[in-house]
């Protein structure tokens, strides 16, 4: 087996297998292999000449493996209409606390139309931006390099031209993912070459040698069939930490489709520093990852929020094809790739509400938009919590025609000790029939305790062309309404059948500007007479300033209960070391003082403050207890009437 593997992997240019191990952790089993990959070539992007941007799109094929698509995924989608979802989330019970009028929408800054449609479906949008304002954005056919400071397109190249020095890989290249290393001031691009119908399959990994993406890039290609069982690689997801690039991949049976030919999901740990230098890179592959004997599918890494975390790596998975389920998997690689004692651990989590595979979304035509499944599509770790998003079923009201495409947003607290998962299916009560697809999420807080985030998502409806929007997440199940970023001017109609829509969108914090996020997504656009895809790239900002972290005197103790209030009542119990004049204020999230509840002397010892929340609108507030300029206590409360 090992001799055969070495003979095959030498085709991929000096791949050296160092060891194989099998690990068991609780109900989790997995195997690992360690590899070294030499650099395949180097390319200076500014020297790439003019291109033809040739692409052929088969308009009959909805997905690769058309026959199995019709017999599998379409049947699953039909079951959505017939299934009894009596226990799954229904927006009637929660719209009052999901989309709140008092929560401001994200602020939009610099924005421009990105990559030009070039005949491939779907877009597969991805974006990265440097501290210097250089944007690297890609879709399934091409990459653009854009300078926002000079408002100029620096370069546009096709995926195959970008990697044309890799002469042994397939020219069928797709599924790009871009990421910016804000610590090392470098870019990384990961995409795939070859699929189920190609004789070879590879994972292309390109590292910029400097902060200038038009300079030299170091190219490597990892085997798309690393386990040597005639698999091909599909659907990468990537993240970074201080030392490593993390790549997750699905391995599919050769000749089959992504829906029916799944074999397993794998995780690569890759030495990023060697990649920047052009040296041979060490990497570690986790494969045959199983929980209770079943392969874990569609693994997604959690990126850092406003900074890297580690050395551990958090990853997420779920039951993406389930009609309804409450199951997620939290995975953790405990250490760096060169630490022999590092483990892969898996915890099964149960969410407090159910989610499910979404129906295909409606648009302003008879052709629906494909929503694929309910896999995790974006995630970050910040301040001891993980936030993540993915497609889901959304039920609106009662009856039979009440099933829509939506998305879930999850928050995992204390992931390192006792993971606790809270899940919401987003709903905007002002647009209850809006459908959503392919969300992504980035952190936008501005202090060490904030959990603010911005969710960007494609949207569509029966009377609305496909567009791109954003939502601000305050905290504790409170969201803004959808902020429209780019309206479509047409429906999407490229294929004869269901129209591709995703398969993902891009999002990244602007690391040197706390509170800002850059994102890209899809909108419907007339292009050369076709009802096709446009790409919108935009700068977003948190609509609120996080409260500065204020030091509470150690001799002051307090607690609030119940929070959220019950029966419109909340109590604050606090101890004062001495008689003191205090002020009790209610402040909304914009910083405006809504009410001064108390401004007189309180006695030393235990005090209980009780007040009604009836005068308050639904939303998030801060209750502060002060003595002059000295802060005694500050507590956020969520009002749900």
Which residue in 234, 253, 352 sits closest to 299, CA to CA? 234
Q: Where does the pLDDT of residue 87 fall: very low under 50, low under 70, confident under 90, or very high at 90 and above?
A: low
Q: What stretch(es) of the chain map to CATH 2.60.40.1930?
A: 557-639
Task: List, in sequence order, every residue forming a beta bridge with 458; answer none if it has no partner.
Answer: 437, 468
How far, in Å, CA of 628 to CA of 229, rounded? 71
The tens digit of pLDDT for each residue in 310-358 reads: 999 999 999 999 999 999 999 999 999 999 999 999 999 999 999 999 9
Q: Mind giving me the DSSP string for 202-250?
A: EEEEEEESSS-TTSEEEEEEEETTTTSSSEEEEEEEEEE-SSEEEEEEE
Pick 557-639's CATH classification: 3.30.70.20, 2.60.40.1930, 3.40.640.10, 3.30.390.10. 2.60.40.1930
Q: Are 128 and 519 in contact (CB under 8 A)?
A: no
Both tokens assigned to 473? 């997440």
Q: What is the reported pLDDT for 255?
A: 73
Sequence length of the chain is 641
Q: Are 218 and 39 in contact (CB under 8 A)?
A: yes
CB atoms within 10 A of CB 595: 15
Cis previous bond, 562, omega within 30: yes
How far, in Å, CA of 136 to CA of 75, rounded? 38
Residue with tokens 């099933």: 403
How far, in Å, CA of 305 to CA of 516, rounded? 12
Least confident of 21-25, 264-268, 476-480: 21-25
Q: Is the dihedral of CA 72, 173, 249, 203 positive or negative?
A: positive
Q: Where does the pLDDT of residue 9 fall: very low under 50, low under 70, confident under 90, or very high at 90 and above?
A: very low
* Cα Rg of the chain, angstroms: 25
The tens digit of pLDDT for each residue in 90-140 reads: 554 333 345 556 689 999 999 999 999 988 899 999 999 999 999 999 999
How far, in Å, CA of 53 to CA of 66, rounded? 26
How far, in Å, CA of 266 to CA of 75, rounded? 28
Q: What is the mean pLDDT of residues 617-629?
A: 83
How far, in Å, CA of 310 to CA of 498, rounded? 42
CB atoms within 10 A of CB 568: 13
Exposed, middle or buried: residue 283 (CB in 10 Å: 0-12, 13-18, 19+)? buried
- 3-state secondary structure labels for all residues of 434-452: CEEEEEEEEECCCCCCCCC
Which residue in 105, 99, 93 sits closest to 617, CA to CA? 99
Q: What is the reported pLDDT for 68?
A: 52
Q: What is the mean pLDDT of residues 254-277?
A: 88
The tens digit of pLDDT for each residue in 439-489 reads: 999 999 988 778 999 999 999 999 999 999 999 998 777 899 999 999 999
Q: What is the reported pLDDT for 48?
A: 93
Q: Which helix (H) or strand (E) holds 9?
A: helix 2-9
Distance of CA 282 to the CA centre of its chain: 27
Exposed, middle or buried: residue 529 (CB in 10 Å: 0-12, 13-18, 19+)? exposed
Where residue 326 falls (left for φ over 0; alpha for ψ -120 to 50; beta otherwise) is alpha
Q: What is the reported pLDDT for 134?
A: 98
Q: What is the mean pLDDT of residues 38-51?
A: 90
Q: Are 456 and 505 in contact (CB under 8 A)?
A: yes
DSSP summary character for residue 495: S
Q: Are 287 and 29 in contact (CB under 8 A)?
A: no
Backbone angles phi, psi at 99, to 5 degrees: -110, 115
Q: Are 412 and 451 in contact (CB under 8 A)?
A: no
Q: Is the dihedral of CA 509, 510, 513, 515 positive or negative?
A: negative
Least confident of 117-126, 178-187, 251-260, 353-362: 251-260
Is the pTM above the cut of 0.75?
yes
Share the mean pLDDT of the chain.
Answer: 88
Give SS3 for 382: strand
Q: Where does the pLDDT of residue 55 fall: very low under 50, low under 70, confident under 90, or very high at 90 and above?
A: low
Least confident of 158-162, 166-170, 226-230, 634-638: 634-638
């Amino acid at each position: 087996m090992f001799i055969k593997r070495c003979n095959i992997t030498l085709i991929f240019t000096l791949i050296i297998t160092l060891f194989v191990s099998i690990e068991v952790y609780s109900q989790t089993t997995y195997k690992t292999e360690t590899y070294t990959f030499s650099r395949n070539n180097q390319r200076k992007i500014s020297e790439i000449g003019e291109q033809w941007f040739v692409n052929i799109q088969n308009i009959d094929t909805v997905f690769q493996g058309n026959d199995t698509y019709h017999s599998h995924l379409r049947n699953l989608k039909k079951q959505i209409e017939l299934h009894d979802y009596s226990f799954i989330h229904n927006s009637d019970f929660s719209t009052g606390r999901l989309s709140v009028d008092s929560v401001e929408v994200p602020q939009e800054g610099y924005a421009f139309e990105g990559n030009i449609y070039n005949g491939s479906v779907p877009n597969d949008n991805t974006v990265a931006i440097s501290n210097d304002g250089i944007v690297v954005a890609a879709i399934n056919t091409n990459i653009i390099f854009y300078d926002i400071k000079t408002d100029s397109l620096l370069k546009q190249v096709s995926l195959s031209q970008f990697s044309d020095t890799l002469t042994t890989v397939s020219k069928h290249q797709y599924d790009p993912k871009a990421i910016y290393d804000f610590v090392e001031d470098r870019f990384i691009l990961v995409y795939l070459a070859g699929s189920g119908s190609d004789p070879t399959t590879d994972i292309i990994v390109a590292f910029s040698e400097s902060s200038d993406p038009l300079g030299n890039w170091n190219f490597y290609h990892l085997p798309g069939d690393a386990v040597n069982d005639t698999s091909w690689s599909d659907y990468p997801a990537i993240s970074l930490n201080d030392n490593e690039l993390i790549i997750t991949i699905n391995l599919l049976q050769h000749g089959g489709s992504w829906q029916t030919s799944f074999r397993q999901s794998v995780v690569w740990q890759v030495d990023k520093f060697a990649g920047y230098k052009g040296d041979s890179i060490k990497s570690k592959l986790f494969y045959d990852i199983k929980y209770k004997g079943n392969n874990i599918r569609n693994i997604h890494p959690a990126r850092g929020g406003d900074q890297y975390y580690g050395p551990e790596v958090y990853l997420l998975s779920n039951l993406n094809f389930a009609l309804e389920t409450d199951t997620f998997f939290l995975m953790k690689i405990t250490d760096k790739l060169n630490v022999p004692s590092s483990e892969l651990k898996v915890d099964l989590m149960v969410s407090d509400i159910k989610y499910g595979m979404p129906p295909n979304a409606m648009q302003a035509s008879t052709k629906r938009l494909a929503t694929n499944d309910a896999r995790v599509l974006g995630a970050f770790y910040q301040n001891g919590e993980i936030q993540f998003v993915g497609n889901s079923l959304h039920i609106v009201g009662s009856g039979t025609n009440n099933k829509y495409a939506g998305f879930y947003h999850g928050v995992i607290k204390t992931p390192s000790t006792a993971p606790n998962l809270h899940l919401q299916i987003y709903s905007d009560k002002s647009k209850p029939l809006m459908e959503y697809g392919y969300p992504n999420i980035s952190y936008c807080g501005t202090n060490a305790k904030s959990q603010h985030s911005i969710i960007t998502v494609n949207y569509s409806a029966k009377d609305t062309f496909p567009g791109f929007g954003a939502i601000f997440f305050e905290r504790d199940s409170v969201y803004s309404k959808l902020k429209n970023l780019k309206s479509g001017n047409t429906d999407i109609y490229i294929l004869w059948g269901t129209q591709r829509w995703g398969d993902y969108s891009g999002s990244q914090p602007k690391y040197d500007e706390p509170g800002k996020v850059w994102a890209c997504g899809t909108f419907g656009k007339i292009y050369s007479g076709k009802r096709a895809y446009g790409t919108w790239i935009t700068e977003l900002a948190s609509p609120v300033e996080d409260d500065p972290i204020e030091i509470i005197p150690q001799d002051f103790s307090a607690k609030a209960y119940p929070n959220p209030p019950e029966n419109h009542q909340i109590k604050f119990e606090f101890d004062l070391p001495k008689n003191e004049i205090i002020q009790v204020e209610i402040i909304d999230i914009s910083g405006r003082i809504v009410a001064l509840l108390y401004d007189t002397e309180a006695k030393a010892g235990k005090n209980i403050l009780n007040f009604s929340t009836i005068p308050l609108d639904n939303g998030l507030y801060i209750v502060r207890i002060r003595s002059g300029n000295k802060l005694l206590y500050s507590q956020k409360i969520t009002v749900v009437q």
